[in-house]
Structure 1
Amino acid sequence: MHLIIPYAASHALNGPEIWAGLQLPNLQALLSLLQRQQVLQGPEATALHLPHERLQAQALGWAIDTAALPWAAWHLAGQGQASAEPQAWMTPCHWQIGMDQVVMADPEHLHLSDDESQQLLLAMQPFLQEDGLQVTWHSALLWHAQGPLLADVPTASLDRVIGQNVKDWMPDHPAARPLQRLQSEMQMLLYNHPVNDAREARRQHTVNAFWLHGAGTLPVSGTVAAQPFAGAPGSAISAPVTVSTALRSAALHGNAQAWQQAWLQLDATAVADLLQHVKATGQGTLSLCSEDAAHTYTVAPAAWHHRITRLFNKPSPAAALQALITN
């Protein structure tokens, strides 16, 4: 049993007030039984993907020293439709255009309906098909794209870009130039689309862009999850690895109170379950992740003096979490 916790700590949520009073008894008990075995802090080449995404890929048997983590192809293969053709997820989104930067708003905050999403995709289809892209609707914020144009295009994960200047994460690669042209065409197409006119009348953000993510070709070797795809990349992967999304929204938006409440709930549920599993079986793994680091703890034999040290110096959850954003 391996529990991966994204946003266990966040650079957007750091300060004495964040840690004061954050009581996580199950995490503290779990840390007293585990030892830190792996520290994942990626070089620039892997900065396109968050550490927890790389841990998911590692659990699937993929190489993580690559610019492509093919979550879209993985989903298709999990549905029994494996393909050697490059694939990607396409998410409709809103870019807030300022004087010197373009910031991506959280697509979830669009509250885009299925009908609106399908209408927008229908309008875009002739342009997509002209570039050899087969795009099918999966959900309001996830469209599945497939085609040669997606080969060798390094794409940043959606969570990397939310709230950030999109120019910092646009693929700087020759293979991305047709996609950049397509992005510009879609912005012009969507500007006066009836869906956006209606959204403007309701004072809602319009859909004025899309973001490609999870691009690539599924490795020949590697695991295909038995569990169905549940939304954003890897809400669950092949058992017994579980990835929690409980802290994601609060961390992305710097909501300290919501993040603390989510941690208390997580401690009482998934962390408590892992603790009981470790006590019952003597096995278990915990990965705590921030935006740029992941620390993995496992059950491992310890020398007698280490056991005594741990008995009298029980690790503090706050210290373990702060280490994710200070190392």
Structure 2
Amino acid sequence: MPDPSLAPDTDRCLLVPWASALDAAAQQALNAARLPRLTELLARLAVVRSLGSDEWSFTPPHERALADAMGLTGDDGALPWAALDSDRPDEPQAWFHPVHFQVGMDQVALQPATWLDDTRSRQLFDALAPLCHEDGVQLAFTSAHRWRARGERLGQLSCASLDRVWGRSVAPWQPRGPQAPWLRRLQSEAQMLFYTHPANDALAAAGLAPVNGFWADAAGAVTGRPRATAPRASDDLRPAALQGDWSAWVQAWERLDATELAGLLERTRRGESVRLILCGERRAIELAPRPRHWLTGWTRHFRRAEHPAHLLASL
């Protein structure tokens, strides 16, 4: 059962996905970052809980922490985000993301088709929808970059989050569960279908990579009654982290330090209770104010503030 201390408070609780990354270049860049507010916050806060274990879970720590804060349940790779974002949360659903599979000498890497516009996306969607319908899955167009799938099959899947596979080899992230063979077959059929589709001819003419498949995630149905609102989450670090642009990532960290974290710090200075959830690739930690003691203020004055890079590297 979720800890009630994580009940959403948009002014006093902040969740930070991609606060750390395992790439050695990310750690090196973080060591040089200027994060004075985070440094002071870490001196004032203590770790009260840790979630996650390693970088191979299908559900990344920031998704697990967000779900836990909302009271949303689901096994690894089966947090039902698609169903939650619908008018029928009790119905099994998933997100289908159009992607480009880049075939290399020793691996197949995935790139979400962020360059896809509504027109080309809908053309590919219209081609795939009948195949899904034949298998009892209904496909609905929601945006150029993700489509909603509905059907009982989607309640028997464990799928790696798109954030896990972005820019990486797909080999370790293949779907699991009773319906995994069906999903892999549908993905193969989609690759053949898209290969000769006129939408990809138009993309090629524009100098853009073809869309040669889709990736499924967020599968399942909602059970129980999760909270209606989510804690405030900052998406500022995600784009640069997924692109491996660690210079831009550190700049985003410094902006976050000067804005969102400055607000949290001011609240702690006023004696208010705040929550900070920092999420890396292996785990997420929740930080809350240290227990009050008559010596707290005096000792804090002499406590040496440590750069946060060491703590973030452990996530």
TM-score normalised by length of structure 2: 0.89
SS of the equivalent of 1:197 reads: helix
The equivalent of 1:5 in structure 2 is: 16
The equivalent of 1:270 in structure 2 is: 260
Question: Aligned-pair distance for 1:276?
Answer: 2.4
Answer whether contact 2:54 2:283 (CA < 8 A) is retained. no
Aligned AA (2:123): Q
Distance in 2 between residues matched to 1:94 and 1:169, nearest whole Å = 16
SS of the equivalent of 1:188 reads: helix
1:62 is the counterpart of 2:62: no
The equivalent of 1:210 in structure 2 is: 214
Aligned AA (1:97): V
Counting only pairs closer than 5 Å after superposition, residues 148-163 of structure 1 correspond to structure 2 as 148-163=152-167
Question: Aligned-pair distance for 1:6?
Answer: 1.1
The equivalent of 1:229 in structure 2 is: none
SS of the equivalent of 1:39 reads: strand
Q: Deviations over 1:134-179 (max 9, x none)?
A: 1111111111111011122001110000111112101133311111
The equivalent of 1:294 in structure 2 is: 284
The equivalent of 1:75 in structure 2 is: 85
Structure 1 residues 281 and 133 mapped into 2: Cα distance closer, same or farther (>3 Å)?
farther
1:95 is the counterpart of 2:83: no
1:29 to 40, 52, 73: 40
Answer whether contact 2:277 2:284 (CA < 8 A) is retained. yes
Answer whether contact 1:118 1:140 (CA < 8 A) is retained. yes
Distance in 2 between residues matched to 1:98 and 1:29, nearest whole Å = 45
SS of the equivalent of 1:210 reads: strand
Answer whether contact 1:295 1:324 (CA < 8 A) is retained. no
SS of the equivalent of 1:295 reads: strand
Structure 1 residues 20 and 48 mapped into 2: Cα distance closer, same or farther (>3 Å)?
closer
Distance in 1 between residues matched to 2:59 and 2:169, nearest whole Å = 16
Distance in 1 between residues matched to 2:309 and 2:285, nearest whole Å = 9
Counting only pairs closer than 5 Å after superposition, residues 298-309 of structure 1 correspond to structure 2 as 298-304=288-294, 308-309=298-299
Task: Say what the alpha-carbon RMSD is for the aligned residues.
Answer: 2.1
Counting only pairs closer than 5 Å after superposition, residues 90-129 of structure 1 correspond to structure 2 as 90-108=96-114, 111-129=115-133
Distance in 1 between residues matched to 2:224 and 2:27, nearest whole Å = 47
Answer whether contact 1:13 1:256 (CA < 8 A) is retained. no
Distance in 2 between residues matched to 1:19 and 1:269, nearest whole Å = 18
Runs in 1 of length 4+ with deviation above 6 angstroms?
none
Structure 1 residues 65 and 144 mapped into 2: Cα distance closer, same or farther (>3 Å)?
closer
The equivalent of 2:3 in structure 1 is: none
The equivalent of 2:227 in structure 1 is: 223
The equivalent of 2:5 in structure 1 is: none
Percent identity (aligned): 39
5+ long unaligned stretches in structure 1:
226-236
Structure 1 residues 41 and 324 mapped into 2: Cα distance closer, same or farther (>3 Å)?
farther
Question: Aligned-pair distance for 1:315?
Answer: 3.5
Distance in 1 between residues matched to 2:62 and 2:18, nearest whole Å = 9
Q: Tell which deviates more after alignment, 7-16 or 162-171.
A: 7-16
The equivalent of 2:246 in structure 1 is: 256
2:311 to 312, 319, 323: 323
5+ long unaligned stretches in structure 2:
1-11
Q: Tell which deviates more after alignment, 10-19 or 144-153.
A: 10-19
Q: Deviations over 1:208-245 (max 9, x none)?
A: 010111111112232233xxxxxxxxxxx2xxx21111
Q: Tell which deviates more after alignment, 250-259 or 204-213.
A: 250-259
2:142 to 138, 141, 154: 138
